[in-house]
Structure 1
């Protein structure tokens, strides 16, 4: 009998661990992939439609969704609602140019601003006297054994 084991089937040994995936790859591999892909697709679609909004309207309108053959936008006041309705034909043409079969623009008005106000600048807190004295003492030049003052700067 030969010492060769080419014809025998032995159980496979332990496998090397799979290399780590980055976080985005892990998200797209799981069950949450479909909503993430849709969100990224909607974001890319907004980037393509935004240049077709009139400049004065762009800050007050956001592309929200595609609902069948409807493009859904959100605006922050009724005035912008009317202006977006006027811009609807150009938006529909732009959507058709990227492959969407849309026939209507739906505009919804929200009561909250679309872009939040920037946070107010914070005033610095006052430093307690004891902390100020400790800081000054720490930054003051130190006496060195030979009688001279050492400057650490």
Structure 2
């Protein structure tokens, strides 16, 4: 895999700005962040041979969540394209059902809509179909923060 076109330090700085939400990134900063995000995502998705294992990167992240029509939950992991939720009892949803979730990310409420892609006794996976672009960046920045160990030894 090629080295990233941005430095880790520059990416981390832009990623922190996205996470903090104190000010929006200007066009140049956003391009730098997107380059780092895309490189990190590609690195996270490829195994040692370079073969891609899944469509979206994900990371173990535990945050509070609320599943509409059900109640409190928390995340097992977050990804660019989905979220795995853990509940206290079997959720009333099944594969293919529409789901709406509120996540608490960096002190902000992020609303996602999607489709249930799998369930088990106390968990369910939701493929994200709808999310505000600013909230999507926040979710991606949080995943990237957890994946930064992939940058080790490069720069």
User: Normalising TM by the smaller chain, what interval?
Assistant: under 0.3
Q: TM-score, normalised by structure 1?
A: 0.24
Question: Of Structure 1 and Structure 2, which has the larger fraction of its residues in strand?
Answer: 2
Quick one: higher RCO (CA 8 Å, sep 6+), 1 or 2?
A: 2
Which protein has the bigger helix share?
Answer: 1
